[in-house]
């Protein structure tokens, strides 16, 4: 019986699984007597999984990179205990170096080229590289020539600060390469050309401007009364002429200032170990001083300020040499004469330089005055120590000269005592040692050995205190000399 029932159930299930024919028409009505749809007996409340959703989660690119980075970083410190810190230090150091180079480029290198047009600046960068970084005179000279050629084509003034600065840089490069003779040739040619242009501007510029203004005024006077004159155009023309004259005067001052510096540099190069031509060195220094004095007299005659620009104050007020710079040129020539024991020529230069320094500093006394005061004492001491035949005839006796030198040396020490840091520097300390030593020599000339010994001892103590070995040795030798007497 059970088997028959089982066969009937299987046959009924097979009929249910067979596909049923679909009706061609859909009814919009539902028969209430229709048998309800069978519902599954078991319902656990969970929806069926969609067959289109995979079990693996898709990751974004950043998540993949992050996962790989975490996997790679596992144990990296353990596997590379030395290389990893070095790599981090290298990266951080490289970043700091790049930041420093950028800072130097913006604050130091860039301002040097901001006055030049970009094509000129590019050529100069190449030239400076072969001057400062990889010294190569041939490539540097080629780049400097290219920079000058481009600058002239772009209409830069041939005697402006920019053009003269390039030429001076060429001389510096040649000197750095050990080519002192070519450097001197460049400086000599630049000095002569600039001086010729300065003389031309000095003589012709003011006269030409005055002549043009006079012609314009004469033309106005000849114009009939019934003709209307454009006074505004005439006024603008006069202002333009004045502006051109002021520009030329400013350029003249700056160029002449460069000429003085070139002459002093020539004196240094001629007296160097490469050339050793003391006559030409002295001639170059004399030329620098003569230019300064000549320009001072011209300014005094025209009522212009001696230590500033001809064109006015402000930013252009330092176009010409100031009083301190003029005094420096005088003092350097005086030092040359002192080294050659030509004290009669050194004394007036020292005195003139001291007057200029005092006028420039006013109440703000610096160590420059101390140095010049002692230089005067040194020149007087040297003059007294010359052999009688070599001494020039003077209206004062040797005793008076010694007393004067003593006062100058004591004045130098007195002035230095009133100068306090930060104005007081090593120059003041060394000068005090030399002045004290000079006082010892003067006491020795006056036949006062005890005073001389005291001064030499003080000089040695001062020299030891500032670690001035040369002064200490000189004082030590002087004490030995006194001990033998």
Query: 380 in a domain, yes or no?
Result: yes
Q: Quick check: is 449 in a domain?
A: yes
Residue 401 inside a domain? The answer is yes
Per-residue pLDDT tens digits for 91-142 = 888 888 888 777 766 666 556 667 888 899 899 989 989 998 899 999 999 9
What does the DSSP 8-state code read for residue 227? S
CA contacts within 13 A on the Cβ side of 23: 4
- Could you tell me if 322 and 308 are in contact, meaning their C-beta atoms sit under 8 angstroms apart? yes
List, as one string, the DSSP characters of 281-322.
HHHHHHHHHHHHHHHHHHHHHHT--TTS-TT-SGGGTTSS--
Torsion sign (Cα): 218, 219, 220, 223: positive
Residue 4 lies in a domain: no
> What confidence score (pLDDT) does residue 395 get?
65
For residue 425, is it within any domain? yes
Please give the residue that has the higher pLDDT: either 257 or 230: 257
Residue 304 included in any domain: no
Specify the number of domains making up the chain: 1
pLDDT digits (tens, 9 = 90+) for 361-418: 988 899 999 999 999 999 998 888 887 665 566 667 888 889 999 999 999 999 999 9
Which pTM value belongs to this model?
0.70
Is 423 domain-assigned?
yes
Q: Residues 141-179, buried b or exposed e (16+ Cβ, 10 A)? A: bebbebbbebbeeeebeebebbbbebbbbbbebbbebeb
Domain of residue 445 covers: 342-485
Question: Is the pLDDT score of 325 beyond 60?
Answer: yes
pLDDT at 279: 93
CATH code for position 449:
1.25.40.10
Q: What is the pLDDT of residues 54-78, one digit of tens each?
A: 445 567 888 777 777 777 666 676 7
Question: Do the domain assignments include residue 43?
Answer: no
Cα–Cα distance for residue pair 1/206, rounded to 1 Å: 145
């Amino acid at each position: 019986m059970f088997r028959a029932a089982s066969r009937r159930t299987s046959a009924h299930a097979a009929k249910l699984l067979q596909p049923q024919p679909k009706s061609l028409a859909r009814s919009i009505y539902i028969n209430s007597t229709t048998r309800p749809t069978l519902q599954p007996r078991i319902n656990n409340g969970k929806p069926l999984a969609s067959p289109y959703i995979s079990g693996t989660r898709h990751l974004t690119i950043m998540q993949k990179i992050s996962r790989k980075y975490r996997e790679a970083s596992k144990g990296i410190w353990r596997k590379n205990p030395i290389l990893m810190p070095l790599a981090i230090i290298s990266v951080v150091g490289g970043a700091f170096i790049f930041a420093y180079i950028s800072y130097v480029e913006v604050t130091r290198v860039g301002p040097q080229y901001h006055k030049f047009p970009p094509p000129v600046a590019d050529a100069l960068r190449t030239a400076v590289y072969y001057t400062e970084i990889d010294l190569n005179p041939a490539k540097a000279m080629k780049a400097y020539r290219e920079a000058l050629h481009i600058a002239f084509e772009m209409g830069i003034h041939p005697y402006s600060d920019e053009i003269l600065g390039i030429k001076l840089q060429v001389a510096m490069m040649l000197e750095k390469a050990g080519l002192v003779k070519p450097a001197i040739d460049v400086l000599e040619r630049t000095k002569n050309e600039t001086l010729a242009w300065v003389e031309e501007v000095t003589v012709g510029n003011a006269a030409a401007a005055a002549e043009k203004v006079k012609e314009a005024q004469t033309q106005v006077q000849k114009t009939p009364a019934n003709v209307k004159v454009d006074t505004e155009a005439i006024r603008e023309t006069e202002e333009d002429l004045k502006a051109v004259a002021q520009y030329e005067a400013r350029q003249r001052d700056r160029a002449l200032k460069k000429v003085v510096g070139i002459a002093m540099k020539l004196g240094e190069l001629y007296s160097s170990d490469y050339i050793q031509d003391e006559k030409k060195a002295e001639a170059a220094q004399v030329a620098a001083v003569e230019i300064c004095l000549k320009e001072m007299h011209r300014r005094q005659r025209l009522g212009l300020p001696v230590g500033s620009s001809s064109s006015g104050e402000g930013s252009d007020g330092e176009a010409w040499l100031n009083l301190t710079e003029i005094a420096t040129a005088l003092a350097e020539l005086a030092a040359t004469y002192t080294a050659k024991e030509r004290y009669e020529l050194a004394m007036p230069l020292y005195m003139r330089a001291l007057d200029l320094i005092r006028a420039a500093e006013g109440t703000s006394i610096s160590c420059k005055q101390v140095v010049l005061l002692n230089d005067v004492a040194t020149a007087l001491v040297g003059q007294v120590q010359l052999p009688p035949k070599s001494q020039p005839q003077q209206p004062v006796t040797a005793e008076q000269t010694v007393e004067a030198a003593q006062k100058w040396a004591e004045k130098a020490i007195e002035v230095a005592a009133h100068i306090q840091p930060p104005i007081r520097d090593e120059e003041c300390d060394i000068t005090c040692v030399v002045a004290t030593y000079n006082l010892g020599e003067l006491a020795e000339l006056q036949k006062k050995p005890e005073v001389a010994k005291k001064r030499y001892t003080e000089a040695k103590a001062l020299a030891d205190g500032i670690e001035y070995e040369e002064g200490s040795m000189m004082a030590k030798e002087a004490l030995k000399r006194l001990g033998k007497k």
